[in-house]
Structure 1
Amino acid sequence: MGIKTDPTEHFPKPKNDLIIRAALGQEVERPPCWIMRQAGRYLPEYHEVKNGRDFFETCRDAEIASEITIQPIRRYKNLIDAAIIFSDILVIPQAMGMKVEMLEGKGPHFPEPMRTVEDAEKVLNYHVDVLHELDWAFKALTMTRNKLDGEVPLFGFVGGPYTLLTYMVEGGGSKLFRFVKEWINKRPELSHKILDKITTVSIEFLAQQVVAGAQILQVFESWGGELGSEDFDEFSLPYLQRISKELPLRLKELGIKNKIPLTIFSKNSWYALDKLCDSGYDTVGLDWSWDPKEAVKINNGRVNLQGNLDPGVIYGSKEVITKKVERMIKGFGGGKKNYIVNFGHGTHPFMDPEQIRWFLEECHRVGSA
């Protein structure tokens, strides 16, 4: 039996692999920079290309999704060290048979959320063919990887299992999280069955994103902080650990030879940082509520940390941005090892692109010092 060929060998070789080296724990010349939601509504060119199309229609058009992904790389040439594919975490519920809409000004909406045992059975019994259901996502990744031509590495991503369960049950965003809290407390066994299926689908989706061209991956457990510590240990952490443990095995089966760095970002999960640093991920993303020095102390060199500027700082003066960047990078130890620059959450639609340019330039200046 011959040696399996790596399906990614034909892609352009990286010209800037700074973020890959940093994510693998190597010492680097400066901390790499990228921003969550860096491709999106704050950029005028995004609105020109989207041209009034529905959000998910935009995601499913490989040419348009690819163009939007590359826009910040083009605008901030040599300032951003990674692209992240233009998509959404809710493509997994869609692949599992649920309808999801993106309402302008309101966000995601599930017309038929999962509220009964019968609803859950439909989801559990739905056969998910990841390659077929999410074919458009893989096309966009492959096209983007080739268009980037090695300029920067390309991120793929997925939503954390508990976060996806939350959306599936709540039917959209929430302030009270009434329905999902009722769900996990009334139906813990059924909750685990659904979380297990979401995790299985997510692992395959992440693995196939790598085959399609992704070079680094992130898991967004956006609602992790809505759980108490004990519930986080039951309904979130085990499934995040399953991803970090089983994904490398699946990648090996698919013939991927290089290690693919994996990041976990669990927003507002302040009580879980120590556990997340031991959860099998290469990088742990931090929201802006963290004092960098305190996070570094808890991490104690185990993994890389990513973040964590409050996005709202971008509304301040250039002097304020500079001061906060200096404080952040210094707090993370100077950034030459175990650190990746990012916001503590995503960009806002109202941000001035030139303020973000200043932020990136200052990150380069301070990080290279």
Structure 2
Amino acid sequence: MTNLQNDNFLRACLRQPVDHVPIWLMRQAGRYLPEYRATRTRAGDFLTLCTTPELACEVTLQPIDRFPLDAAILFSDILTIPYAMGLGLQFQEGEGPVFERPLRSAADIDALGQPDPETELRFVMDAVRLIRRELRGRVPLIGFAGSPWTLACYMIEGRGSRDFIHIKGLLYSDPALLHQLLRHLALSVTRYLNAQIAAGAQTVMIFDTWGGSLSTPAYAEFSLAYMTEIIAGLKREAEDRTVPVILFTKGGGNWLEAMAASGADVLGLDWTTELDHARRRLGDGIALQGNMDPIALYGSASGVSVEAERVLASHGTGTGHIFNLGHGLTPHTPIENVTALVDSVHRWPHRKA
């Protein structure tokens, strides 16, 4: 494999000395970019964009070509596993993902297959291989998956939800059946991430988008326990390097210590948890990723720089910080403000430690 020209992101994940604070952005390939919109139009629909390796590679590289970011992230979707399980995934304009056949019974859960990463999900692995080749060692590539709890939320509700009535109803009425589904998904996610690593992903991230919807005991039992199981099952050495793992629970600020005990190398934080507060609670034994509010990018370019510097100062100059947003870029984000953000982070005074 090609030697990396910029490995600051990987070194920050492992709390090693870096030349500058590395930055990448959740949803950095997205509708705010005109080149992405052009490729999306050419694809015809979002699912085709995700499942065509050449198109997924093209949009993965677009933000890397435009901004001096320190990592690329595979263009895909967290719902590829349930898509491969045959639940009839569609992406509806203005509504997001919708499943034609949500899980509503024990028979539905019993009938679920276990998709093979190199057959039913081959399009993802081919995209990883193609992206690695086309990156030519410029920056590392991040692979990812949704957490079992988050996948189960979509699979049972059938779409996004505010209240999660169906899955929480199952949690409180038949927890054994929910655990059956979560165990099944944990195995799927472990196999999926290991296949991404084998195909060339140099870091993997678990997106627990809906973990913050749970009570503290329910989070520990129904979300974190399965992410911990997945991390323990990952093959963490590839290409003579350690493959770092990032765990991100949106709304998980109450559970930092428990998340840090998961085996992850990096905790992603949303904007509701200050970096200095997290660092005081956790010490220096884990890297932190985040955590500027993505809506701050709708202000002025100078305001973006001020807010970026505030976030950087909150962490301080020690090792183990990857700058990111507290969640993904939104479709109308001004491109010039993304440029201002990346420039501000790279200008930040940082001493090798």
Normalising by the smaller structure, the TM-score range is: over 0.9
Q: Say whether 1:282 aligns with 2:273.
A: no
Q: Which residue of 1 aligns with 2:202?
A: 215
SS at match of 1:133: coil
Q: Specify the alignment match of 1:341 in structure 2.
A: 323
1:41 is paired with a residue of what secondary structure? coil
Question: Following the alignment from structure 1 to structure 2, what is the Cα–Cα distance between the partners of residues 212 and 247?
Answer: 14
Partner of 1:263: 246
CA-CA distance at 1:265 after TM superposition: 0.5
* Cα deviation code 1:21-70 (max 9, x no counterpart): 11111021211100000001110000111115111111111111100000
Once residues 262 and 116 of structure 2 are traced to their aligned partners in structure 1, the CA distance between those partners, rounded to angstroms, is 28
Name which of 34, 51, 56 aligns with 1:60: 51
Distance in 2, matches of 1:29 and 1:256, equals 22
Distance 1:24 1:98 in 2: 38
Q: Per-residue deviation at 1:319?
A: 2.2
CA contact 1:329–1:367 (8 Å) conserved in 2: no
1:70 correspondence with 2:52: no
Query: For residues 256 and 294 of structure 2, what CA distance do their matches in structure 1 show?
Result: 21
Contact 1:158–1:220 (CA<8 Å) still a contact in 2?
Answer: yes
Partner Cα separation in structure 1 for residue 109 and residue 349 of structure 2: 49
Equivalence for 1:308 = 291
Q: Equivalents in 2 of 1:208, 1:246: separation in Å?
A: 12
Cα distance in 1 for partners of 2:32, 2:219 equals 33
Return the alpha-carbon distance in structure 2 between the equivalents of residues 358 and 256 of structure 1.
Answer: 34
Overall identity of the aligned pairs, in %: 38
Residue 42 of structure 1 is matched in structure 2 by 32
Instruction: State the partner residue of 2:218.
Output: 231
- Matched with 1:15 is 5
Give secondary structure in 2 for the equivalent of 1:130: coil
2:49 counterpart letter in structure 1: T
Q: Per-residue CA shift, 1:244-303, capped at 9, x if unaligned?
A: 11113xx56xx7643100000000012211111111000000001112211111111120
Preserved contact between residue 15 and residue 287 of structure 2 (Cα < 8 Å): yes
- SS where residue 94 of structure 1 aligns? helix
Q: What's the TM-score, normalizing by structure 2?
A: 0.96
Structure 2 residue runs without a partner (length 5+): none
Whether 1:364 aligns to 2:353 is no
Q: How much does 1:111 deviate? A: 1.2
1:103 aligns with 2:86: no
Q: For residue 106 of structure 1, report the CA deviation from its aligned partner.
A: 1.1
Which range moved further: 32-41 or 104-113?
104-113
Give, as a single letter, the amino acid of the residue that structure 1 aligns with 2:192. F
- Aligned amino acid, residue 56 of structure 1: L
* Of 151, 158, 177, the match for 2:138: 151
Which residue number corresponds to residue 325 of structure 1? 308
Cα displacement (A) at 1:367: 4.5
User: Normalising by the residue count of structure 1, what TM-score does the alignment of the two structures yield?
Assistant: 0.92
- Offset of 1:186 from its aligned partner? 1.2
Name the residue aligned to 2:101: 112
Kindly state the Cα deviation for residue 97 of structure 1 after the two structures are TM-superposed.
2.8
Give the distance between the partners of 1:276 and 1:327, measured in 2 at CA: 25
Give the RMSD, CA atoms, in angstroms.
Answer: 1.3
Counterpart selection for 1:83 from 72, 84, 102: 72
**Shift of the alpha carbon at 1:151?**
0.4
Which whole-Å CA distance do the structure 1 matches of 2:4 and 2:93 have between them? Answer: 37
Q: Deviations over 1:50-94 (max 9, x none)?
A: 115111111111111100000000011xx2000001100000112
Assess if the C-alpha contact under 8 Å between 1:23 and 1:282 holds in 2. yes
- 2:71 and 2:139 in contact (8 A); partners too: yes
Alpha-carbon contact 2:81-2:115 (below 8 Å) kept: no
CA 19–311 in structure 1, closer or farther in 2 if over 3 Å, else same: same
Amino acid corresponding to residue 30 of structure 1 in structure 2: H
Counting matched residue pairs gives 350
